[in-house]
């Protein structure tokens, strides 16, 4: 099959789709990936054909970092609406001659529209559960806000709000680029595959047959040689705590390093500033600054993982069998913090705006408990028995021919 994979977002949004594309490529399928230019490095490393879409999500986050989480959400809507026309044209050109489109992230509606125009199947893919269920609330609402009886409605509500935010620019691009009529309602009938572990979030019993939790989508473990400094640090003491907030920007490490150092109380730690600048901040000797390092290589060597609660980092920490301390900033991060807390491998999610030495110290004490470490190790072993990429690739190979056959029958029936 000749498949186009379309996504737009941060590294955490793109990398799982790269993993899925690579798995399908290994099975002999012709794959091409579209995504943000700054997130395509892993695709290049794996030899997965790819092309950049318009826009620069990292620069956008930098421009809006002073606005906080609410500003980030507004910025993402602004970026999507500003680039809808370009994404539609770029995707339409790249999809020519393809058998199906796997579509995800901020460009999800683009892929569905282009597939409609070309008369080919579209399969949604994602790392956040968007299919409404009575078993959990919308991942985009604060934990504990929604009573259980409103879970299903809360997911429908946030999905509708997203749709309304993008509808005008999307329908305009459908008209001008694809010569398609406007969508009046949110499309929901396409298959959805999720790179989510059923160990972390069990498959909801009330989901329709076309929605499936496959398991985590991780890129293959690559050979990695640490720097001499990092290798020495890991060798010269007990396993450290990893601290990193990924693509979150605007973190004032100058203010945070004091409480963090006090809470560590001499514990060893690795600090990855990610997309936030750390400038020339001087760190105490028990904290080593590092850059981007493959989580599959690094996390198993940690004692615990302090992170922002992105779906990818949440899964990678759990898969490594390590407890977490989650500091949610925006989006679905509080949802994953709540999941890890319910699994007993993390304290309650912490308020990023109110971090202090006392609360952080209690969190570090929690992840050092013997029973917490044991639960985390057992959960990691269960996740290790999952085959998320194999399950997703099987589903794609099953869904595309069936959908294409159905489309052909329908087109013949209208002649």
Q: Tell me what the pLDDT averaged over the chain comes to.
A: 90
The larger pLDDT score, comparing residue 404 to residue 120, is at 120
Is the pLDDT assigned to residue 100 strictly greater than 60? yes
Q: What is the pLDDT of residue 66?
A: 54
Assess contact for 4 and 98: CB atoms under 8 A.
yes
Contact 138, 146 (CB under 8 A): yes
Strands 241-244 and 211-213: unpaired
Residue 132's pLDDT band, with cuts at 50, 70 and 90, is very high
343-382 confidence digits (pLDDT tens): 999 999 998 888 899 999 999 999 999 999 999 999 999 9
The burial class, CB within 10 Å (0-12 / 13-18 / 19+), for 76 is: buried
The pLDDT confidence band at residue 259, using thresholds 50, 70 and 90, is confident
- Kindly indicate the confidence band of residue 413, based on its pLDDT and cuts at 50, 70 and 90: very low
On whether the pTM is more than 0.75, the answer is: yes
Asked if pLDDT for residue 203 goes beyond 80, the answer is: yes
pLDDT at 227 over 80: yes
Give the whole-angstrom CA distance, residue 292 versus residue 237.
Answer: 22
Could you tell me what percent of the chain has a pLDDT over 90?
73
Distance separating alpha carbons of residues 260 and 364, to the nearest angstrom: 10
The answer to whether the CB of 310 falls within 8 A of the CB of 336 is: yes
Residue/partner pairs of 23-32 with CB below 8 Å, 24 or more apart: 23/217, 23/389, 23/390, 23/392, 23/393, 24/393, 24/396, 27/393, 27/397, 29/1, 29/2, 29/3, 30/1, 30/2, 30/3, 31/3, 31/4, 31/5, 32/3, 32/4, 32/5, 32/94, 32/98
Write down the pLDDT at residue 172: 97
For the domain 228-384, what is the CATH code?
Answer: 3.40.50.2000
Domain regions of the chain by residue span: 2-216+387-413, 228-384
CA distances from residue 275 to 57, 218, 254, 255 in whole angstroms, order as listed: 11, 21, 15, 17
Which range is least confidently modeled, 37-46, 142-151, 240-249, 298-307? 240-249
* Better-predicted residue by pLDDT, 410 or 359: 359
pLDDT band at 76 (very low <50, low <70, confident <90, very high): confident
Q: Which residues, in sequence order, are CB contacts of 213 under 8 Å at separation 6+?
A: 129, 194, 196, 197, 198, 201, 202, 203
Banded pLDDT at 222 (limits 50, 70, 90): confident
What is the mean pLDDT of the segment spanning 244-272?
81
More confident site: 187 or 88 = 88
pLDDT: which is higher, 148 or 61: 148
Distance CA 230, CA 271 (A): 11
pLDDT at residue 225 greater than cutoff 60: yes
Long-range CB pairs of 186-190 (<8 Å, 24+ gap) are 186/159, 186/160, 187/109, 187/112, 190/112, 190/122, 190/123, 190/124
pLDDT of res. 409? 41
Whole-number pLDDT of residue 276: 60
The structure tokens 């989480």 sit at 69
Residue 68: pLDDT over 70: no
Q: Which residue has the higher pLDDT, 97 or 404?
A: 97
Structurally, at CATH architecture level, domain 2-216+387-413 sits in 3-Layer(aba) Sandwich (3.40)
User: pLDDT class for 102, splitting at 50, 70, 90?
Assistant: very high
Model confidence band, residue 25 (pLDDT cutoffs 50, 70, 90): very high
Helix (H) or strand (E) segment spanning residue 271: strand 269-272
Query: What's the confidence (pLDDT) of residue 73?
Result: 73
Q: What single-letter DSSP state applies at residue 280?
A: T
H helices of 147-252, in order, are 151-178, 228-235
Tens digits of residue pLDDT in 297-352: 999 999 999 999 999 999 999 999 999 999 998 889 999 999 999 999 999 999 88
Average pLDDT over residues 23-35: 97
Average pLDDT of span 123-132? 96
Is 228-384 in the same CATH topology as 2-216+387-413?
Answer: yes
* Predicted pLDDT of residue 131: 96
């Amino acid at each position: 099959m000749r498949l186009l994979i379309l996504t737009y977002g941060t590294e955490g949004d793109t990398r799982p789709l790269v993993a899925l594309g690579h798995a399908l490529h290994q099975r002999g399928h012709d794959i091409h990936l579209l995504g943000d230019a700054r997130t395509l490095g892993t695709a290049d490393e794996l030899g997965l054909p790819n092309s950049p879409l318009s826009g620069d999500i990292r620069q956008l986050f930098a421009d809006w970092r002073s606005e906080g989480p609410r500003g980030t959400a507004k910025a993402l809507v602004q970026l999507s609406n500003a680039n809808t026309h370009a994404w539609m044209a770029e995707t339409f050109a790249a999809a020519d001659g393809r058998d199906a489109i796997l579509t995800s992230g901020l460009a999800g509606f683009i892929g569905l529209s282009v597939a409609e125009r070309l008369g080919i199947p579209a399969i949604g893919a994602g790392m956040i559960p968007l299919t409404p269920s009575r078993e959990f609330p919308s991942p985009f609402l604060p934990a504990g806000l929604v009573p259980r009886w409103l879970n299903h409605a809360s997911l429908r509500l946030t999905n509708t709000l997203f749709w309304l935010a993008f509808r005008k620019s999307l329908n305009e691009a459908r008209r001008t680029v694809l010569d398609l009529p406007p969508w009046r309602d949110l499309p929901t009938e396409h298959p959805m595959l999720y790179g989510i572990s059923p160990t972390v979030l069990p498959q909801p019993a009330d989901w329709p047959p076309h929605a499936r939790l496959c398991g985590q989508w991780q890129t293959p473990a690559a050979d990695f040689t640490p720097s001499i400094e990092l290798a020495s640090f890991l060798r010269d003491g007990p396993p450290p705590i990893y601290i990193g907030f990924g693509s979150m920007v605007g973190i004032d490490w100058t203010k945070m390093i004091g409480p963090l150092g006090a809470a560590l109380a001499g514990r060893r730690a690795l600090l990855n500033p990610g997309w936030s600048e750390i400038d020339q901040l001087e760190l105490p000797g028990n904290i080593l600054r590092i850059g981007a390092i493959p989580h599959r290589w690094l996390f198993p060597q940690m004692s615990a993982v302090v992170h922002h609660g992105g779906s990818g980092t949440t899964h990678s920490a759990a898969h490594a069998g390590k407890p977490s301390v989650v500091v949610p900033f925006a989006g679905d991060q509080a949802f994953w913090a709540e999941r890890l807390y319910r699994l007993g491998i993390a304290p309650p999610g912490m308020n990023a705006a109110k971090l202090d030495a006392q609360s952080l110290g209690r969190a570090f004490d929690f992840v050092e408990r013997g029973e917490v470490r044991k639960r985390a190790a057992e959960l990691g072993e269960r996740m290790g028995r999952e085959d998320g990429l194999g399950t997703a690739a099987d589903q794609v190979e099953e869904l595309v021919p069936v959908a294409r056959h159905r489309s052909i029958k329908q087109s013949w029936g209208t002649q």
